[in-house]
Amino acid sequence: MPSTQLKPNQVQWLKAALFVLCLVPLGRLVWLGTHHGLGANPIEYITHSTGWWTLTFLLITLSVTPLRRLTGWNWLLRLRRMLGLFAFFYVCLHFVTYIWLDQFFDWHSMVKDIAKRPFITVGFTAFLLLIPLAATSTNRMVKRLGARRWQRLHRMVYIIATLGVLHFWWLVKKDIREPLLFGALLGLLLLVRLIYRMRKADAPARPAVGSQAA
């Protein structure tokens, strides 16, 4: 049974394993690409897949804290940065696919797209907002900002994930089941946080134990 604490080298192994696991979606795309497995519209497939994994990694990142509270496995927190950065990694792939393979660096039409197409507006905004989060993910940045400011900045992930879901919702022609599912899961993860905050507000004050970004 996993304990609430892990030895340092156990965490290292876990992080290494997780790193490899997080690259599997990309590896799968590469394998499919080299085996004619991307279908008749490969660019569409890659765009959809990288977007889907961005949302998925965002949701996984957002489930770390509720899971940690539920299980008491504090070491989960040590994995969150990697998961968040992989969300950023996949959104970068998604964005590069759009500007390169889809639009061929046609900046004029891209600017028009971003301005005129709501689903692209929210998608592009979510991407932009994720950049400062990625940039401030290092230990040094945490120290520079201080715990409170860092935490406030990184709470932006709630907005980012919401914009991501909207982006997906608004690009689907009719079958909104998948965006709906992502939205429901996101709603659940945010609700869980809200409940926790309300409970904490009611509970008598206790000395915090090494709590940083909760």
Partner 1 sequence: MLIKRPNPVPPSDITARGVYWNRRDFMRTGAVLGAAAGLAAAGIGIPRAARAGTKLSDLRHSALSTTGEELTPLKDVTTYNNYYEFGTGKDDPSENAHKLRVRPWSVAIEGEVAKPRVYDVDELLKLAPLEERVYRMRCVEGWSMVIPWVGYSFSELVKRVQPTSKAKYVQFISLADPAQMPGVKLPVLDWPYSEGLRMDEAMHPLTILCLGLYGEVLPNQDGAPVRVVIPWKYGFKSGKSIVKIRFVETEPKTTWALANPREYGFYSNVNPQVDHPRWSQARERRIGEFSKRATLMFNGYGDQVASLYAGMDLRKYY
In the complex, what is the shortest distance from the CB of residue 175 to partner 1, in angstroms, rounded to a whole number?
Answer: 4
In the complex, what is the shortest distance from the CB of residue 31 to partner 1, in angstroms, rounded to a whole number?
Answer: 17
CA distances to 63, 151, 153, 154 from 148, in Å: 21, 5, 9, 10
CA distances to 193, 194, 195 from 198, in Å: 9, 6, 5
Contact between 104 and partner 1 by CB under 8 A: the answer reads yes
- Name the phi and psi angles at 25, rounded to 5: -55, -40
Contact between 32 and partner 1 by CB under 8 A: the answer reads no
Contact between 171 and partner 1 by CB under 8 A: the answer reads yes
Contact between 190 and partner 1 by CB under 8 A: the answer reads no
Contact between 39 and partner 1 by CB under 8 A: the answer reads yes
**Judged by CB under 8 A, which stretch of 70-78, 81-89, 121-129, 169-177 contacts partner 1?**
169-177
Tell me which residues in 108-167 interact with partner 1 (CB under 8 A): 109, 112-113, 116-119
CA distance linking residue 171 with residue 173, whole number of Å: 6
Run of H or E including 28? helix 8-34
In the complex, what is the shortest distance from the CB of residue 171 to partner 1, in angstroms, rounded to a whole number?
Answer: 7
